[in-house]
Structure 1
Amino acid sequence: MSQSVSASVREAGAAAPTAAQLLDFVRRTAADTALIATLPLDPEGRTWVRLDGPGGSEAWLIGWPPGTGTGWHDHAESLGAFATARGALRENSLSVRLPSRGWRALELNGDVDRERLLPAGEGRAFGRHHVHEVLNESTTEHAVSVHAYYPPLPLIRRFSRTGPLLRLEQVERPEDWQ
């Protein structure tokens, strides 16, 4: 289920937002309980509503049923941030920069895995080419989060992972998720 709506959280100014500004935006928006309550929740799959982000960024309010996740992916050339508004989300990420093109499979070296739990009120920002997966590990509770990206997402690369082997599986463009 997807919906598009303008939220009253648009910021003034035309300068490109920094990762810190995106993080501030998602944290403030996640604290807006009236806005969070407007998100329709579906027990079968994730739900989302498009928001107006700061400085022309792309922003989303996302609902996560118990046991759902994104799978491994990146946001290409976009900076990003997300904050949990309700429940808790786990982020697993890689502390390595992947080549932007020219590969289908890579063997990851050493200690590249990172993980963090983001309960309600917590958020994080990330740079370009950040590879991660986001999960609602609860078996009973929906989670809700706010995400922002700048520039607006040109594409998302999706990966599969088996041990140290990371494979590029699919490239999605905006028309695939709007």
Structure 2
Amino acid sequence: MSSLSSPPSFPAPTSTPVSCGPAASATPSAHSAPPTQAELLDFARRAAADPELIASLPLDPQGRTWVRLDGPGGSEAWLIGWPPGSGTGWHDHADSIGAFVTAAGELTEHALAARIPTDGWTLLELADGVDRSRRLPTGQGRSFGRHHVHEVLNESTERHAISVHAYYPPLPRIRRYSRTDRTLRLEHVERPEDWQ
């Protein structure tokens, strides 16, 4: 478990993996297919429904906390605690697909329903109508494809939220953005060596 005042969009890969019962699986054999978005979402749902696992996460009133989990099929998975008012900022997970489920409290996701170029830009003007928002109370979640740009927030002023996240392949990089009205700006790219 780690805690930072301004953590990355997902936890730094320095925590000890934790098995979460039937939801966890070992790294696939050479003949196994990689997990699908549906399988990642199913894993996140089952892990989020494990009261013992959820209760094992220490919560910090100042910053997010996290524990690495054994994800399905060689995926990267995390149990994350969100203090009131915390969030990720705008980001994507590059070439990884993913899923997350709220295990306690409620999270809000703001996302862009637009295909963002993968490389070669620093400033984009977004079209009207690309913004999507959804509230994800306890037990609710979603999966997403590659290059999904979003931010996730705990908008509560009083209550922690807890969620389970899974990504495949394990995150090769995260692109961080700033946003002003319809302008999206690429601010920097993080790679695994930045999270060590």
User: Into which bin does the TM-score normalised by the smaller protein fall?
Assistant: over 0.9
CA distance in structure 2 between the partners assigned to 1:46 and 1:177 by the alignment: 15
Of 18-27 and 167-176, the range deviating more from structure 2? 167-176
CA distance in structure 2 between the partners assigned to 1:6 and 1:56 by the alignment: 14
1:70 maps to which residue? 88
TM score, norm. by length of structure 1: 0.97
1:28 maps to which residue? 46
Q: Are the aligned partners of 2:24 and 2:43 in contact in 1 as well (CA < 8 Å)?
A: no
CA distance in structure 1 between the partners assigned to 2:104 and 2:144 by the alignment: 21
Q: Are the aligned partners of 2:111 and 2:131 in contact in 1 as well (CA < 8 Å)?
A: yes
Q: CA deviation at 1:174?
A: 1.5
CA distance in structure 1 between the partners assigned to 2:107 and 2:18 by the alignment: 25
2:16 maps to which residue? 4
Q: Are the aligned partners of 2:65 and 2:82 in contact in 1 as well (CA < 8 Å)?
A: yes
**Residue among 100, 107, 112 paired with 2:125:** 107
**Residue among 60, 63, 85 paired with 1:45:** 63
Q: Which secondary structure state, in structure 2, belongs to the residue aligned with residue 16 of structure 1?
A: coil
5+ unaligned residues in a row in structure 1: which ranges? none
**Residue among 130, 155, 161 paired with 2:179:** 161
Deviation per residue, 1:57-105 (Å, 9 max, x gap): 0000000000000000000000000000000000000001111110000
Deviation per residue, 1:29-61 (Å, 9 max, x gap): 000010011111110100111111000000000
CA distance in structure 1 between the partners assigned to 2:75 and 2:38 by the alignment: 13
Q: Which secondary structure state, in structure 1, belongs to the residue aligned with residue 133 of structure 2?
A: strand
Q: Which secondary structure state, in structure 1, belongs to the residue aligned with residue 38 of structure 2?
A: helix
For these two proteins, the number of residue pairs brought into alignment is 178
Q: Which secondary structure state, in structure 1, belongs to the residue aligned with residue 88 of structure 2?
A: coil
TM score, norm. by length of structure 2: 0.88
1:150 maps to which residue? 168
1:94 maps to which residue? 112
Q: CA deviation at 1:11?
A: 2.0
1:60 maps to which residue? 78
Instruction: Give the counterpart letter for 1:139 in structure 2.
Output: T
Q: Supply the RMSD in Å over aligned alpha carbons.
A: 1.1
CA distance in structure 2 between the partners assigned to 1:5 and 1:44 by the alignment: 23
